[in-house]
Amino acid sequence: MNNLVNNPKKKLTLSYVVALSFVAILSISSQLIIRNVLGDQKEDSRVINISGRQRMLSQKISKLVLQLHTAKNEADYASLLDTFNNIIHLWKSSHLGLLHRDSLLNLGGDNSPVILKYFEELEPHYIVFDQATTQIAESKFGDDISEAVQNILAHEDRFLTIMNTITFQYDKESALRVKEVENLELILLSITIFCLFLEALVIFRPAVNAISRYMTLLQDQNKELEEAHQEVILSNEQKKKVQDDLIKTLRENHNLQLHANQRLEEEILARTEQIREQHHDIVQKSEALEQQNEKITEQNQQLGKLYKKVTQSINYAKKIQQATVLNRDRVISEFDDGFIMNEARDIISGDFYWFHQTPQYKFIILSDCTGHGVPAAFMTVIGNAMLNEIIISNQIHEPDLILKALDQKLYEFLNTKSHEKLRDGMDIAVVRIDEEAKKIRFSGAKRPLVIRNQKNEIEVHKGSLTTIGYIPKKENKSFTKQNIPFQKGDQIYLFSDGYQDQFGGVDDSRFQKSKMINMLKEMEFRDMKMQENVIRYQFFSWKGGKAQTDDVLFIGLQL
């Protein structure tokens, strides 16, 4: 208190600056929290919208499969199938985006344990939907899709019920987060009011008391001067001098008080103006950020349109690629049972299969071309055309000679007219089946053949270590051939390296070929469709939310 009386300017200024700074920090913190909540609310709204849209898409899928099942002509079927494929793509991407909170779909954040539990409950129904829709998407007019339609309709009600529960849970969690922020904002408001109360108690009240004491001190001094005036009444000169000194002292004190009050008011006004300017700067920066967000939103829309055009072109290229490959159901129908799992890393694949049947032999070929995406897809078209020429036109039926001819033609095609040597090629497995003689003849270029015999023993027949097309034809390449007896009911497997090279699991490592072979052993002589389901489930479970490493092609056939 003595310090405040002796030096009121310094004490009051420091206390006032500290109090105003603390209040400003609380106000800015409250604004930042509100902006953050608005951003989270925007993400929550998008999550809830997409979750709700899944129900609509699921109902639309059910409606389309019924329309496809009852289509009267091929044109209507093709039109409905195109719409069906677009909806299935949106439905799958939305499901995976919600499950993994994909930031590319503006679905940032993490799902709660409750929502993850609902997704686990939803997963079996999703898998059935996915398999059924995949079968329908690959069908053509006249194919029997009744089983797939029944599977979708059988699981539709449960899928919609769980999806509704997930949507309500998203909405509930969003409301809880808003409530928490409201409570936090109330706490900050309470702290601000409390600080204002402390400011009045700690700053203004002591100041008033100090001024009061200062005035009391002045009054005491006046009283003492008056007493002295009464005591020194000996002469008029002494009296006048005392009076003059007293008046002078009072004036000086009064001027000092006025000057101190004026300086204090000026400093308070200057500080208030400074805070106003800071507030104005904050508002301007906030407006600038909003303008930048609008520009970013516009750029994202332009990128979305460009992405849609590119995706449409690639999807059309996929149709062209599929037109060059024999339908998988047609291939499987030539055997007792089988499956073909073809999962492209991008929209179109760099892996392809080839089938041909002569009066004596059946040929099944799997090829893994360089890279993936559009460049690799071009290689599949080239490889398919060359196999047609070698096996069908030129009547070359020995697997090792087929590989040798393919290697020469591919190298000449890529390098004869090119100034720059291209080192593209493919890994391939060629299997010739003689059902009458019960013998398989196999040659491979870095791709193996796996056979399950009647004793449930797994045999791995490795291909040659050299590949097709990479190395100049001047270098001597050797492709070995293997003669393998078989019995009716034996199962054969061909696969590209995309399955075993997929990263995933707890430690983000490759799946590995050895683990894949053990998986085949454990399945024993199960139905081939069930084997495909297990192989698909193991792959996507291992992959989880990580990106697909490479194209995957996995063929299983029962002889």
317, two tokens? 């290229």
CA–CA separation, 56 and 495 (whole Å):
37
User: 511-537 pLDDT, tens per residue?
Assistant: 999 999 999 999 887 889 999 999 999
Helices (H), 338-398: 373-387
Q: Is the pTM of this model over 0.85?
A: no
- By the 8 A CB rule, do 322 and 396 touch? no
Average pLDDT taken over every residue of the chain: 83
- Within the chain, all domains assigned CATH 1.20.120 are found at 15-212
DSSP state of 103: G
Predicted local confidence at residue 55, as pLDDT? 79
- By the 8 A CB rule, do 511 and 499 touch? yes
Predicted local confidence at residue 313, as pLDDT? 44
Who contacts 166 (Cβ-Cβ below 8 Å, separation ≥6)?
A: 51, 98, 115, 118, 119, 122
> How many CA atoms, within 13 angstroms, populate the side-chain half-sphere of residue 362?
16
Largest interatomic CA distance in the chain: 153
- By the 8 A CB rule, do 453 and 487 touch? yes
Predicted local confidence at residue 167, as pLDDT? 87
Low-confidence ranges of the chain (pLDDT < 70): 1-12, 15-16, 19, 22-23, 26-27, 29-42, 103-105, 204, 207-208, 210-211, 214, 229, 232, 236, 239, 300-324, 416-423, 471-475
Assigned CATH topology for domain 15-212: Four Helix Bundle (Hemerythrin (Met), subunit A) (1.20.120)
Pick the CATH number of 327-558 from 2.60.120.10, 3.60.40.10, 3.40.50.850, 2.30.30.30: 3.60.40.10
- Collapsing DSSP to helix, strand or coil, 454 comes out as coil
- Within the chain, all domains assigned CATH 3.60.40.10 are found at 327-558
Predicted local confidence at residue 369, as pLDDT? 92
CA–CA separation, 204 and 226 (whole Å):
33
Query: Where is 309: in which H helix or E strand?
Result: helix 236-323
